[in-house]
Amino acid sequence: MPELPEVEIVRQSLDKKIIQKKVKKVIIRNRNLRFKIPLNFESFLKNQKILNVKRFSKYLIISLSNKGYCLLHLGMSGTVHIIYNYKKNNFTNTSFYNSPSLPTKHNHVEIFFDNLKIVYNDPRRFGFFEIIKNNKLLIKRFINLGPEPFDYKFNLKYVFSFFKEKEKNIKNFLLDQNFVSGIGNIYASEILFLSKINPMKKAKLLTKKECRRIVLNSKRVLLDAIKKGGSTIRDFKNISGTKGSFQKYFKVYQREGQRCKRLKCDGNVKKKNISNRSTFFCNICQK
């Protein structure tokens, strides 16, 4: 599943390619995604200029000249491809999931501009599009989600207060979008390793010092992943011909049975399923 850094890479790719371009045509080949694509989706986007492409959590937010927005969530397997009209398209994928070039199946949405088109591909169809008519409704759409790790609201006071008397383990809280928006399974394991916290530890038992580490390392890990282009779990390139390289720097994720990378630690990386998600941690230095 694309996590926040990978969605940010898609945002950056789209922001470079479609800003100030006008939507010429929209073709829906399959409306039956996680939520059915609205019947007025085509007319809402047609002839609108793209003002910018933003992101909140794992959502892409495309701002339109009619003061409305097109929301896109990639779900489990969604990818966005950019296809040029008169140019060889070696790599079309704006991120690093599934095929590096446009597959022949599961191309559900096509948005056309003058010299290129955007194609949304999603074999599992857990992704979805939404129309948001104005900024007030956009704010309301995300009102129940927690702050992003980069938000000033995600601070020591917020985290420590939130965890009081909470029985749930810290790993589950990092994946809880009502607590913090955007952290996924890969990065939760990496954050907890850097914070020296066992993923099974109950949130109510965390000290202020440990909560401060979570705040700082959440920002650190995600910013580093974005800088390195995200994590390429399968070996191929994105539209710019580069690979996400953060996977080369994993401290614990997918390193089961290997030695801990922390200096002077004799521990080994263990794997445990928490709420049906694979969790990786050092058996010695994560207390």
Q: Which two tokens stand for residue 218?
A: 């959440």
Round to whole Å and give the CA distance between 90 and 92: 7
Spot the catalytic one: 2, 100, 149, 199.
2
Q: Which two tokens stand for residue 151?
A: 């938000």
Q: Is 2 a catalytic residue?
A: yes
Q: What's phi and psi for 161, nearest 5 deg?
A: -65, -40
Spot the catalytic one: 11, 17, 55, 58.
58
Residue for token pair 């080994």: 268
Q: What is the DSSP string of 149-160?
A: TTSTTSSHHHHH
Spot the catalytic one: 3, 6, 148, 210.
3
Using a 10 angstrom Cβ sphere, with 0-12 exposed, 13-18 middle and 19 or more buried, the burial of residue 141 is middle
Which of 198, 214, 220, 97 minimizes the C-alpha distance to 160?
Answer: 214
Q: Is 277 a catalytic residue?
A: yes
Round to whole Å and give the CA distance between 18 and 16: 6
Round to whole Å and give the CA distance between 194 and 228: 18
SS3 string, 12-45, reads HHHHHHHCCCECCEEEECCCECCCECCCCHHHHH
Round to whole Å and give the CA distance between 286 and 117: 47
Spot the catalytic one: 21, 49, 237, 277.
277
Which residue numbers are catalytic? Answer: 2-3, 58, 277
